[in-house]
Chains A and B, each alone.
Chain A
Amino acid sequence: MRGALGPGALAALLAAGALGPAPAMAHSTGPSLPDEFIQGAFAPAFVPPPPGSYELPAIKRVGAFTLRDTAGRAVDTRSVMAGKIAVVSFIYTACPDRLGCPLASQTLRDLQARLRETGLARQATLVSISFDPERDHPAQLAKYAQVYDADPALWRFLTAPSGRVLDAVLESYGQDRTPERDERGRPTGRIRHVLKVFLLDREGFVRNVYSAGFLVPELVLNDIRTVLGEP
């Protein structure tokens, strides 16, 4: 559990994030820029185009995998998502980068609320899959789900039974994952990855991929409506 966050710590981290300034670049080895240069890329100020006014061509079809849920039960990903639009995010609960995995989970929490408000909750599902099968055992994921007020009927947290299965899942989605090592080659417990959230249609085709720069709940919601509205 070294380096992992319990739900209390996570909640505190989230709270701190809500109030505190941006953290310094923890790892920069060269001359560093003030934070605003790094932040510069992202501060969205647009109204997403209306649902149905654009196309979301299929990017690829992802496979079906047998993972474990927060109760340790074997779950087929396709049965979880069958007939629904799925928003799938890859996270690990020990992720110390509050603007990495916590950002994705925060966005899914917001989406959970918006799906309920807009009456779309029956037609969509949210799925968070752990990058870290060793540490993210079902009980750990259950705690994490609780921190984010996840409604088990709408938002599932899954973990892979083995590294091999995880690799197959990541390959299928096109999600990178590199366990970080320190200068002496020892694992630090951190997992480097590009934050990606995937929108899947009812047939399991990826229809959009969001990274941090474009992970806007209203935009995702409009994309869900766009896919639902297709003839």
Chain B
Amino acid sequence: MRMRRTVKWLWGVALAMAIGIAAAPPALADETCQSPFLPKVTGQEDYIYVSTLGVKGVADGNDSMVTVDVNPASGRYGQIVHRAPVPGQHEAHHAGFTDDRRFLWAGGLDTSQIFIFDVASNPAQPKLVKTIKTFVKDTGGLVGPHTFYALPGRMLISALSNAKDGGGRTGLAEYTNDGKFIRTIWMPAEAVYGYDVRVNVNLNRMLTSSFAGRKNYMRPIGELLKDAEAMKQFGSSVIVWDFHARKPLQVLSIPGAPLELRWALLPNHPYAFTSTALTGQLVLIHQQPDGKWTHKNIAEIGPNIPVDISIAPDDSKIYVNSYGDGTLRVYDVTDPFEGKLIHQVKLGDQANMVSTSWDGRRVYATTSLLSQWDKPGDQWLKAFAWEDGKLVPKFTTDFNGVGRAHIMNFGSKSR
């Protein structure tokens, strides 16, 4: 019993702070939607690393990791301060830190290459230190490394497709922080698609969502929309897994390509959110008293193709960016069973990623979705801050000269 009490103390008091304090340098800042295995503290972020898609005729045309200075105290606030190109175009998309925040892994959905940047040596200037070109071979045929999710000592990577038919059958891969392959976990036969992966350590549960294979995501969107057969080849499920065992427990039927997954952050909140790109729903995924999982549509976002979502640090709000109408919508989810639209901001012709800071005060958005799906128009990163109940614009960083802005990861000088 003594042990049980001790354990309860250790957990109950503040385990997260163990990583927060013991691990994180001062002033490290983070967004709310990162792996729970990352050191995580509040504070003003100094930089945002933007995974940026290369465009022919723009700069050197290569994909790159672009650093934007986002500290209001800096003389270069809102400006691009560095660009680290990789050789060639790979369909730059998502990126994520290793568990010690020393390295940022970025994937190419087209070539399945993975680029590892050192962000510790000089946090303003990420440096490409390693490229994994063997992802497809290593994993036995996974294609399109998407989410890069830190586990202790490892990276968990969700893929979108496979080398055999370029369709949606796919899986998860694990690599060591050194870039060595560990294992592949294929999606179960009854729900083969993949997209995002997120872990809730308190519940030992992992969720995966579902999108589409390479032959869909690399196809011009005008063509794709006219192909009724191809339009059926989108995911319609979220899988609940035993995280530690890496075993699927339950398949939830959530039609319309449920994309980003966001676990609620407070320990007494056993639920998560997703949005469906093709059916425009904000969806709650929650555990029932019997331990089983279920879902509920909690807000109609509309036929705007909602893409990225972000959660407020106190689980009170979900931010939704929609590609179709370039609008950021904010839903009050204080009652997670009823999403209430409380605020919206027209961002531009299209929008994709959205990130909230850990103190809940700042919100950032970018433009680009996929090279074959983007509309013509300006490329940017936009910053907002909550003031008097409204999101007030703080700056717009012009990306037209460097490429198309995709996912954002927050960085700090003090690392």
Contacts and interface: CB of A to CB of B under 8 A. Distances in A.
Contact of B13 (A17, A40, A214, A215): A17
A99 B27 CA distance: 19
B21 A97 contact: yes
Contacts of B27: 27, 29-30
A219 B180 CA distance: 25
B9 A17 contact: yes
B378 interface: no
Interface stretch (B36-44, B50-58, B214-222, B345-353): B36-44
B17 A110 contact: no
B361 A22 contact: no
Interface in B331-367: 358-361
B75 interface: no
Contact of B359 (A30, A55, A180): A30
Nearest to A48: B244
Given A59-B153, A174-B177, A178-B25, A25 B41 contact: yes
A194 B313 contact: no
B314 interface: yes
Given A32-B359, A33-B313, A46-B203, A100 B152 contact: no
Contacts of B398: none
Q: How large is the interface on B (under 10, 10 to 19, 20 to 34, 35 or more residues)?
A: 35 or more
Given A54-B245, A60-B178, A210-B152, A32 B13 contact: no
Contact of A25 (B17, B18, B25): B17
Contact of A212 (B7, B16, B245, B268): B16
Contact of A39 (B14, B102, B152): B14
Given A48-B204, A176-B100, A211 B14 contact: no
A136 to B, nearest CB: 16
Given A42-B36, A44-B201, A193 B23 contact: yes
B247 interface: yes
A41 B26 CA distance: 19
Nearest to A103: B18
B10 A23 contact: no
Nearest to A29: B27
Interface string B51-76: 00000000000000000000000000
A40 B10 contact: no
Contact of B42 (A38, A43, A53, A113): A38
Contact of B17 (A39, A215, A216, A219): A39
A32 B29 CA distance: 11
B245 A214 contact: no
Interface size class of A (residues with CB under 8 A): 35 or more
B241 to A, nearest CB: 11
Contact of B265 (A40, A46, A174): A40
B260 interface: no
A91 B39 CA distance: 17
Contacts of A35: 14, 17
Main secondary structure of the interface of B (DSSP, over half): loop
Contacts of A110: 3, 6-7
The main secondary structure of chain A at its interface with chain B is: loop
B3 A113 contact: yes
A25 B359 CA distance: 13
Contact of A41 (B40, B180, B182, B204): B40
A101 B174 CA distance: 27
B267 A39 contact: yes
Contact of B201 (A41, A55, A217): A41
A25 B202 contact: no
Given A97-B21, A174-B177, A210-B152, A38 B41 contact: yes
Interface in B86-142: 99-100, 102
Contact of A42 (B151, B202, B313): B202
B313 A37 contact: yes
A18, A30, A53 interface centre (most CB from chain B within 10 Å): A30
B17 A22 contact: yes
Interface in B179-232: 180, 182-183, 201-205
A212 B17 CA distance: 9
Interface in A41-78: 41-46, 48-49, 53-55, 57-60
Contact of A30 (B18, B20, B42, B313): B42
A106 B11 CA distance: 12
B377 interface: no
Contacts of A206: 153
B12 interface: yes
B267 A43 contact: yes
Nearest to B45: A30
Contacts of A178: 25
Contacts of A119: none
A224 to B, nearest CB: 14
Interface string A75-117: 0000000000000000000010101110100110010011000
A213 B16 contact: yes
Given A29-B27, A110-B3, A23 B17 contact: yes
Contacts of B205: 46
A59 B202 CA distance: 24
Given A176-B102, A209-B152, 8 more contacts: A25-B42, A27-B26, A45-B202, A194-B99, A198-B153, A210-B152, A212-B16, A214-B244
Going nearest first, the 9 A-B pairs with the smallest beta carbon separation are: A100-B22, A99-B18, A43-B267, A30-B43, A42-B15, A209-B153, A54-B245, A209-B152, A22-B14
